[in-house]
Chains A and B, each alone.
Chain A
Amino acid sequence: MTDSLLTLIIFFPLLVTAVVLFLPNGKDLLIKEIALGATGVQLVLSVILFFSYDASLQPENWSNAFQFVERAKWISLYLGDYGWLQIDYFVGIDGISLLMICLSTFLLFVGVIASWNLSKNVKGYFILYLILSTSVVGCFAALDFFLFYVFFEFMLLPMFFLIGIWGGPRRGYASIKFFIYTLVGSLFILAVMIGLYLSVEDTSLADQTQEVVHSFSLVNMMDGGYITDGILTPGNATEFLGMNIRWIAFILLMVGFAIKLPAVPVHTWLPDAHVEAPTAISVLLAGLLLKIGGYGFFRIAYGIFPDAAVSLTYPIAIFGMISIVYGGLTAMAQNDLKRMIAYSSVSHMGFILLGLASFNVQGAGGALFQMVSHGFISGALFILAGVIYDRTGDRGIANFSGLAKAMPVFTGFVVVFFFASLGLPGLSGFVGEFLVFLGALGSDYLPKWIGIVSISGIVISAAYYLWALQRMFFGQFWTREKVWEQTMYDLTARELLLLIPLAILVVLLGIAPNVILGPVNNSIEFFVNQCFEQSQLYLAQ
């Protein structure tokens, strides 16, 4: 069972897609049920994965840091002078990807329920949705750079169509913007990927052939299996634009993933994409796609280029700080609820940069926790924004007032999740921020003022959330259009079904964060130690 569990989790939705393809167009409910079942199975499997994950594993190097590893030859070509081209189907997880996979399957399941009311071209929607499920999970499990890249790119297409077809009025602009932005990011990643491929060899296969066997295996890259004179081999003095080539590669990766994250100043696709995307897609966008950027930092940028990372902590932290403060300030200036939440995502993603830049266990753990917690919180926030949009077709903050009177339960949830997002202790948002601050202020690499300025982020986030709360939910009940007053009914059973589990998780993670951080602690510690040791090793070369 556990031998191919990972593959099953990744490809189960794709398998179901094949079934859905052959269903006639009209059977909307059946398709929804199938999609729910498929993501449900995925969720159950990932829960099994979580509990069968061995938390006590203390690896010595990356090659034994992963569990549930599956490896099969995928593409194997002889390229003459370029040696063997070796691409593997290579998946496996450590603690970092474990959490991401569990988060993904949960949100994907939630997303199906969130799109239950969909009526436009249901079949197409869910086919794309299931493809997306496969590629997201695949991205988190891939240990071969090529495989990762394939999944990474594969995510774009369903997303593009999901926004472009099922989105709001400006969906065309938003989806194109999203697509181009991300594609530019992926190009940077692609360039680095090829460079890495040419500098890394798979020593496990080198005995069988006389030629150099180049490899895309992330494990090889992280463990430093470089050939002696590769372009990205540590110690290579090649310079480009006055900088060491490894530094350039690291910066390219960071930019590529920062677009996905997104960090200021490459964040402007996010508000547009969020505003136009349908609710469920916003949930996935904020909950998962942004996390792939963060995950890329962990697994690829930091894992492979620790030497560059440790030398560039300062600018990374500054970008994190700018994202936190600037994202918060901009969020406050927004008039659209969804836009405000989108900018708050930018602000919260800044914590990931800051946490990673601090280069210690607290910072990295905080960044990881922030990713998980932000997945739940922002998912819930977008569902809440969707609730208003469903009822009125409008989300302007200034168009509503005193909603607490008409929708008390809804307002209760809004208060809980707003407070969770503004970092109230006892809810999950605080834990990540606390750990990141702990890391940033205790870091050997960062000056104190960066952490101190970033702490102002918690004041700013309180400012915009409470301001929105006051303007929309408190005061006399009033809506800009009289008709809306009739449609402002409180949450339906389906919406409650969506929000209650999220609320429980947010509270649980806030009170007992070790439920998820405990099992992955070894992985985080190993990640940080390994990055540190290798950076020293590489820098010495």
Chain B
Amino acid sequence: MMEMINPTYFVFLSLFIFCAGIAIVIIKRSAIFVLIGIELMLNAANLNLVYFSQFDPGMNGVMTSIFVVVLAAAEVSIALAILLNIFKHYKITDPDELTSLKN
């Protein structure tokens, strides 16, 4: 049986990553960075899920985290595609400057 790592570390680590994600989402002006922030937040959550799933014999947490990863991948790819197109059209990346989707 492996030595258990103190769960406090995990919690703090994921808290840190999550807060960093929030900070990026709120502060950064580029939509790409906002995406990165979102990814960070998702993964912070994943971390928690994976760690605490060891107490769950059904392994639901792991399963959920796998779903989240898949979802995140899909989401990122679509979001990037949209952002790319927006950039092509309007030459902007700041989500606030984007006021209309029609010409």
A and B touch in the complex (CB under 8 A): no
